[in-house]
Structure 1
Amino acid sequence: MSFEEAIKDLGSGIIIDIEVTPGSRSVSVPSGYNEWRKRIEVKLTKNAQKGKANEQLVECLAELFGISSSDILINSGATNSKKSLLLKGVSYQQAISIFGARLKK
C-alpha cells in the first residue's frame, strides 16, 4: 500500500495523518509520503511558533480540497510535527484522487 494508508474514511469526512516540516524554502502540500511512519509529508514556509505553521497547513489543505478552513480540525499533534487532521465534507475518494495526482512521480 502507499499513501492511502494515511487517509481514514469516516463517512462524514476523513482523517489524514501528516508529517510537517516547518520553515522550508517553499510550500509543498503534499511533498511526499513516508511509508515507515505512514504519513503524508508536507513542507511549510512558516515556522512552528505561535501556531503559524498550523494556520498555514490548514489554509493550504482548505485551498487544496476547496473547503472552508473552518471544516478542518487538528485532531491530534497540534504541537508536534506528526499531526492527524479531520477534514469535514471531503470523501475518501476525493482525497485519494487529489493526493494521488500530486504524489505520482
Structure 2
Amino acid sequence: MADPADALTSTREGTVLLLDVNSKAKADRFPAGYNEWRHAIGCSITTPPVEGKANRAIVALLSRTLTIPQSGISILSGATSSQKRVLIQGMTFEQLAGFLRERCPR
C-alpha cells in the first residue's frame, strides 16, 4: 500500500517534502493527494507561475496548513518546475508523516 511518508526525507536541517504542484487550479489545496509513482504530495494553487508568485503562494499555503512560520519553509529545488523539493523546518519527519497519512487520500 502506498504511504505518503515516502514523499519525505529526514535531514539535519529538517524534513524535505516532494511536491507535485498544479498551478492555476480552482482552489488552493494541500495536501491534494499522493502520487505513488513520483512519491510526491499534490499541491494545488490558484496563482499562476509568473515571476515567482506561485512559489510564494506555495510557501504561504504550506505555512497556513502546517501552522508553521513561512521562514521555516524553503524551496530547495524545482523553482521553475511543477516538481519541487521543499524543506520544512519546525516539524519532525514523524509529525509531517502523521499529518500526511491523515489527510492524503490513498
TM range (shorter): over 0.9
Aligned residues: percent identity?
A: 30
CA–CA distance in structure 2, aligned partners of residues 31 and 78 of structure 1? 19
1:12 touches 1:91 (CA, 8 Å); kept in 2?
no
- 1:3 maps to amino acid: P
Give, as a single letter, the amino acid of the residue that structure 2 aligns with 1:99.
L
Structure 1 unaligned regions, length at least 5: none
Structure (1 or 2) with the greater strand fraction: 1
Q: State the TM-score, normalizing by the size of structure 2.
A: 0.92
Q: Is the 8 Å Cα contact of residues 3 and 101 (structure 2) preserved in structure 1?
A: no
| Counterpart for residue 34 of structure 1 | 35
- Count of aligned residue pairs for this structure pair: 105
Listed as ranges, the matches of 1:1-105 within 5 Å are 1-104=2-105
In structure 1, what is the Cα distance between the partners aligned to 2:33 and 2:58? 15
The structure 1 segments of at least 4 consecutive aligned residues displaced by more than 4 Å after TM superposition are: none
**CA displacement at 1:93 relative to structure 2:** 1.2
The TM-score with structure 1 as length reference comes to: 0.92
Q: Which amino acid aligns with 1:101?
A: E
